[in-house]
A and B are shown apart, each in its own frame.
Chain A
Amino acid sequence: MFYKPAITSLAIVAAFGMAMPLAAAQKTGAIAQDFKLTDMNGKTVQLSSFRGKPVVLEWHNPGCPFVAKHYDSGNMQKTQAAAREQGAVWLTINSGAKGKQGYMNGPDAQKLFKETGMKSNHYLLDMKGVVGKAYAAKTTPHMYIIDASGKLVYQGGIDDKPTADQADIKEARNHVSAALAELKAGKSVSVAQSRPYGCSVKYES
């Protein structure tokens, strides 16, 4: 009866003293952790290579109704286009594991990218969830903004209406557009943190 937990805990005892890198969240106001990921075209993309420009990270899962709310309405594409016009870099990241809802391989993502008219600079594949966990991305969508100096200046939801209803978009405050506009104007971000909402990120384990 207690034999099985004993075996499992043997492994835990063996792990004593080893630092366990748990999902360590990135702190708002601190330098965001650098990472390298492969995009849908097989190209390697490194966060720190965009120093000097603001970078938006968007966690994505095409099967999630909350993501669909912002793509079917065109809201996300519009936000992406506006961000790029302001000189920001937009990275869409998929941390869905193989076999889980919303997982994409390169060709899948290329097709989706074209069909939905995404405007992001890169669609990054993070099927092991390494970057997702390093940023403690919990939901799709989950948004992060890194300023030109590499500091994390926003993390949270895309807006302040946590529903799956497209009708709510027009009355919502788009936290990402607002933050980018503030950065552009040389101001500090007034809402630097909010509650992300959506489906949970479908990590491998």
Chain B
Amino acid sequence: MTSTFCSRTIWSGLKVRTILQAILAALVVAALIGINPVGEVIGNPAEAQVTTAKRELNVPATLVAEAQQVHAGQDITLAFVMTPKPTWHGYWENPGDAGMGMSFDWQLPDGVSAGEAKYPVPDTLLISGIMNYIYEGNYAVLVNLTLSENIAPGPLPITVKSQWLACTNEVCVPEQDTLSITLEVVDKGTAVSRNKEFDDHRKALPQPLGSDATFMVRDDLFRLSVPIPAALDVETPYFFIIEDGILDYSAPQKVNRDGDRLIIETTARGDMLETISGVLKIGPGIGLSLDASKGEVEMSGIPLSTGGDGGNFNNGGDQSHASLLFIALGGAIVGGLLLNLMPCVFPILSLKALSLAKAGGDEHIVRRDALAYTAGVVLVAAALGALLLALRASGAAVGWAFQLQDSRIIFVLLILVTAIGFNLAGLFELPNVNFGNRLTQKDGASGSFWTGALAAFVATPCTGPFMAAALGATIVLPPVAALVIFAGLGLGLALPFLLIAFIPAIRKRLPKPGPWLDSFRKAMAIPMFLTAIGLIWLLGRQIGEDGLALSLIFLLLISLILWWFGGGQAKGLSRGTITTGALVAAIIGGVLLLPGQQATNSQRAANASSATLPSEPFSEARLSELRAANQPVFAYFTADWCITCKANEAAAVQRQETADAFAAANVAVLMGDWTRPDPEISNFLEKHGRAGVPLYLYYAPGKEPVILPQILTVSTLTDLVA
């Protein structure tokens, strides 16, 4: 009965697909005349195709062993390699709202036992409000077999009957197959060759987080707090829970970052468990498996994002967005207002404001000017915001002030700030963009607009700290709402100027322009130069000393051109055209000669090796080389997402005392970075009985390695070589 039933369902899946694709018209006709499509399928000679079932599976499975030869007393990993046909998918161990995980019915020889199945990190698939946890491409489910010590050499037949569900977005078909493989038990001395594809299979599995998470269920609210280092970049995190009945799978998940914790909030379905487990996905194919126990969880910190992968929740838009928008908008306006006091903006603003006062009675000109200035500020702020959103949409992981991650933009900003500084100091006058003294019909409106644009652009290095929360909200909100916030930032920046223009009483209270204004203007060059120094420091960190020296030479060249231009102005000569040409040439030359991305990366690497305790990348080959040379070795394994690792490094590893002691004893340091799964490191960890990081090992020359405790102190390390 079972097999007959099975062939029907398989056939019905195919049937529906074929009909949909090829003879849609026939189906319509059939429906119109009231033929029941299911009855038709059942009545069809589909039974004839029973034995070809295996070929017709929509998500076929193949059973593969990591090695054909095995040793008694050891583990061997088997993989169910699943290869869904296009448009078909298989399910994770918890399938979500609908669907089914895999089941395994093993037939194993005596002395062999099968472990739990290990699934790769799944994807989300939300169809009409029904959440599915699935795999769309090929994937492998791994199972460890344990062989007892007393298994005799010879063939070892393994058979497993497995069931799983194969679905498209439209139909589901339960599938099953009986898979067999015959391994060979060989003597301990015989070498076995392993299947390299298992490296890729293991890379797709979640990595054990190591630290415990905390969860809370209160009424309809579920919260999970996961220890993750604050410095780790995560991309649309999503929590896949293993246990059923706790979470509403189809509800969006809100994510906050609060220091070294990542907090997820979503809708609860039930509260009957004291511990839960699951996989926290932090990027495409990267997941951390974790256990959580009950505790208090506050939704603190700043919001990171909502939703799962691929924008599944774009059609959400709940009310909390509206209030978030207003709070963030308020924050942005206040933040913009405060920006006026920052060293990069204050000089421009104060002088422009005083020039308004000087214009005195002509309300019309003053207001037109203020509006043009506001337009300039708001447009540039919104344009920078739009660029940020566009970069994010294209997949780049950028934050606000992203432009400061590009050395070319820092260089251009540096030139700009230096030039403004020299202008304020009186080295030269600008014909169009003037920061102070002239307010004529001719250049008034456009001059004000460009001053505003400049102020907004120059202000960006200063937006950072106190704008973080409001700008963080822009990542959660839909793009248009995010743009409103960026524009709000600009509005805040322009607000004092608008007030001065539209409330004459304020204008009257401003000090009357006089000879002191010239001194004030010159003094305002100081904050500008301070900003320039800040940018030089930033540039130096990114491109290194050599690159920085070259950039400063170009900066000097540009200053000389401006000086010569200013000299001409003093004598009444017009050197504008030549100056513009020379400036453009110098800036382009400077940008082209800036070290490229590669140099920037190698500078980052240099920064890393300039750590207190320098290290080499870990490899087993390098380890045996050092061991052969009788050098003591300290090997440590870490990952950016591992909070215990980072704490140990700060408290014990990257300390001057440790570095000095190790240097004195000539200890070689090897560092294995497991932020992304690395099969060589995974194997090495496994050999030392660890599923994950941290792992600290010390190899004294000629001795067995010592595994150090998971929590390190400086003395643990210095005592090794004492």
- B319's partner among A5, A17, A105, A202 (CB-CB below 8 A) is A17
In the bound complex, residues from chain A placing their C-beta under 8 Å from that of B481 are 9, 13
A165 to B132, CA, bound (A): 21
Contacts A63-B12, A202-B170 aside, 16 further interface pairs with beta carbons under 8 A come to A2-B386, A12-B478, A13-B481, A15-B317, A16-B321, A20-B316, A20-B317, A20-B319, A111-B34, A162-B100, A164-B165, A164-B174, A193-B245, A193-B270, A195-B244, A203-B129
Is A17 in contact with B322, judged by CB distance below 8 angstroms?
A: yes
Is B317 in contact with A165, judged by CB distance below 8 angstroms?
A: no
Query: In chain A, residues 100-117, which have Cβ atoms closer than 8 Å to a Cβ of chain B?
Result: 100-101, 105, 107-108, 111-112, 115
A93 to chain B, nearest CB (A): 16
Query: In chain A, residues 22-53, which have Cβ atoms closer than 8 Å to a Cβ of chain B?
Result: 22-23, 25
Is B129 in contact with A195, judged by CB distance below 8 angstroms?
A: no
Query: Would you give 7 A-B contacts (Cβ < 8 Å), ordered by A?
Result: A13-B478, A17-B322, A62-B38, A115-B39, A138-B130, A199-B98, A201-B130
A165 to B162, CA, bound (A): 12
Is B98 in contact with A200, judged by CB distance below 8 angstroms?
A: yes
In the bound complex, residues from chain B placing their C-beta under 8 Å from that of A63 are 12, 16, 37-38, 171
Decide yes or no whether A150 CB sits under 8 A from chain B.
no
Is B244 in contact with A23, judged by CB distance below 8 angstroms?
A: no
A193 to B170, CA, bound (A): 27
Number of interface residues of A (CB under 8 A): 55
Look across to chain B and name the residue whose beta carbon is closest to the beta carbon of A111: B36
B675 to chain A, nearest CB (A): 29
In the bound complex, residues from chain A placing their C-beta under 8 Å from that of B348 are none
- A1's partner among B37, B98, B322, B390 (CB-CB below 8 A) is B390
Decide yes or no whether B127 CB sits under 8 A from chain A.
yes
- A163's partner among B163, B270, B478, B479 (CB-CB below 8 A) is B163
Query: In chain B, residues 112-156, which have Cβ atoms closer than 8 Å to a Cβ of chain A?
Result: 127-130, 132
A166 to B31, CA, bound (A): 29
A201 to B314, CA, bound (A): 21
Choose, from B1-9, B571-579, B587-595, the stretch at the interface: B1-9
A5 to B482, CA, bound (A): 12
Decide yes or no whether A167 CB sits under 8 A from chain B.
yes
A163 to B12, CA, bound (A): 17
A10 to B127, CA, bound (A): 23
- A165's partner among B127, B163, B325, B478 (CB-CB below 8 A) is B163
> Knowing A16-B319, A65-B12 touch, does A198 contact B98 (C-beta < 8 A)?
yes
B400 to chain A, nearest CB (A): 16
Query: In chain B, residues 447-476, which have Cβ atoms closer than 8 Å to a Cβ of chain A?
Result: none
> Knowing A12-B478, A65-B173, A163-B163 touch, does A108 contact B322 (C-beta < 8 A)?
no
Is B2 in contact with A115, judged by CB distance below 8 angstroms?
A: no
In the bound complex, residues from chain B placing their C-beta under 8 Å from that of A166 are 1-2, 5
Decide yes or no whether B103 CB sits under 8 A from chain A.
yes
A40 to chain B, nearest CB (A): 12
Binding site for A on B (CB under 8 A): 1-2, 5, 8-9, 12, 16, 31, 34, 36-39, 97-100, 103, 127-130, 132, 163, 165, 167, 170-174, 244-245, 248, 250, 269-270, 314, 316-319, 321-322, 325, 386, 389-390, 393-394, 478-481, 483
Is A19 in contact with B319, judged by CB distance below 8 angstroms?
A: yes
A143 to chain B, nearest CB (A): 14
A36 to chain B, nearest CB (A): 22
> Knowing A101-B170, A163-B174, A164-B174 touch, does A108 contact B245 (C-beta < 8 A)?
no
Is A8 in contact with B172, judged by CB distance below 8 angstroms?
A: no
The interface bits of chain A over 113-153 (1 if a CB of B lies within 8 angstroms of the residue's CB, else 0) are 00100000000000001000100001100000000000000
Of A16, A25, A166, most buried by chain B (CB within 10 Å of CB) is A16
Q: Is the interface of A mostly helix, strand, loop or mixed?
A: loop
Decide yes or no whether A182 CB sits under 8 A from chain B.
no
In the bound complex, residues from chain B placing their C-beta under 8 Å from that of A205 are 128
A16 to chain B, nearest CB (A): 4
B686 to chain A, nearest CB (A): 33
In the bound complex, residues from chain A placing their C-beta under 8 Å from that of B325 are 16
- B99's partner among A17, A200, A203 (CB-CB below 8 A) is A200
A184 to B79, CA, bound (A): 50
Is B394 in contact with A163, judged by CB distance below 8 angstroms?
A: no
> Knowing A23-B129, A63-B171, A101-B16 touch, does A16 contact B98 (C-beta < 8 A)?
no
Is B480 in contact with A9, judged by CB distance below 8 angstroms?
A: yes
Is A65 in contact with B1, judged by CB distance below 8 angstroms?
A: no
Is B5 in contact with A68, judged by CB distance below 8 angstroms?
A: yes
A184 to B311, CA, bound (A): 48
In the bound complex, residues from chain A placing their C-beta under 8 Å from that of B16 are 63, 101
In the bound complex, residues from chain B placing their C-beta under 8 Å from that of A66 are 172, 174
B135 to chain A, nearest CB (A): 16
In the bound complex, residues from chain A placing their C-beta under 8 Å from that of B390 are 1-2
B429 to chain A, nearest CB (A): 39
In the bound complex, residues from chain A placing their C-beta under 8 Å from that of B37 are 63
In the bound complex, residues from chain B placing their C-beta under 8 Å from that of A200 are 97-99, 127-128, 130, 132, 167, 172
B165 to chain A, nearest CB (A): 8
Is B317 in contact with A65, judged by CB distance below 8 angstroms?
A: no
In the bound complex, residues from chain B placing their C-beta under 8 Å from that of A201 are 98, 128, 130
- B1's partner among A6, A8, A167 (CB-CB below 8 A) is A167
A46 to chain B, nearest CB (A): 25
A165 to B2, CA, bound (A): 7
Of A9, A133, A162, most buried by chain B (CB within 10 Å of CB) is A9
Decide yes or no whether A64 CB sits under 8 A from chain B.
yes
Is A129 in contact with B172, judged by CB distance below 8 angstroms?
A: no
In the bound complex, residues from chain B placing their C-beta under 8 Å from that of A68 are 5, 8-9
In the bound complex, residues from chain B placing their C-beta under 8 Å from that of A198 are 98
Of B245, B248, B325, B479, most buried by chain A (CB within 10 Å of CB) is B479
Is A65 in contact with B318, judged by CB distance below 8 angstroms?
A: no
A106 to chain B, nearest CB (A): 10
B557 to chain A, nearest CB (A): 37
A205 to B169, CA, bound (A): 12
A5 to B478, CA, bound (A): 8
Of B16, B99, B270, most buried by chain A (CB within 10 Å of CB) is B99
- A9's partner among B1, B322, B478 (CB-CB below 8 A) is B478
A173 to chain B, nearest CB (A): 16
A97 to chain B, nearest CB (A): 8
Of B316, B321, B480, most buried by chain A (CB within 10 Å of CB) is B480
In the bound complex, residues from chain B placing their C-beta under 8 Å from that of A162 are 100
A156 to chain B, nearest CB (A): 9
Look across to chain A and name the residue whose beta carbon is closest to the beta carbon of B97: A138
Is B479 in contact with A20, judged by CB distance below 8 angstroms?
A: no
In the bound complex, residues from chain B placing their C-beta under 8 Å from that of A195 are 244-245
In the bound complex, residues from chain B placing their C-beta under 8 Å from that of A111 are 34, 36, 39
In the bound complex, residues from chain A placing their C-beta under 8 Å from that of B1 are 166-167
Is B479 in contact with A199, judged by CB distance below 8 angstroms?
A: no
In the bound complex, residues from chain A placing their C-beta under 8 Å from that of B270 are 193
In the bound complex, residues from chain B placing their C-beta under 8 Å from that of A10 are 480
A67 to B107, CA, bound (A): 30
A19 to chain B, nearest CB (A): 7
Is A101 in contact with B171, judged by CB distance below 8 angstroms?
A: yes
> Knowing A17-B319, A20-B318, A166-B1 touch, does A65 contact B9 (C-beta < 8 A)?
yes
A187 to B322, CA, bound (A): 47
Is B250 in contact with A23, judged by CB distance below 8 angstroms?
A: yes
In the bound complex, residues from chain B placing their C-beta under 8 Å from that of A196 are 98
Is B98 in contact with A138, judged by CB distance below 8 angstroms?
A: yes
Decide yes or no whether A90 CB sits under 8 A from chain B.
no
5 closest A-B pairs by beta carbon, nearest first, are A9-B478, A164-B174, A203-B128, A200-B98, A12-B317
B124 to chain A, nearest CB (A): 14
In the bound complex, residues from chain A placing their C-beta under 8 Å from that of B173 are 65
A108 to B1, CA, bound (A): 27
Is A72 in contact with B386, judged by CB distance below 8 angstroms?
A: no
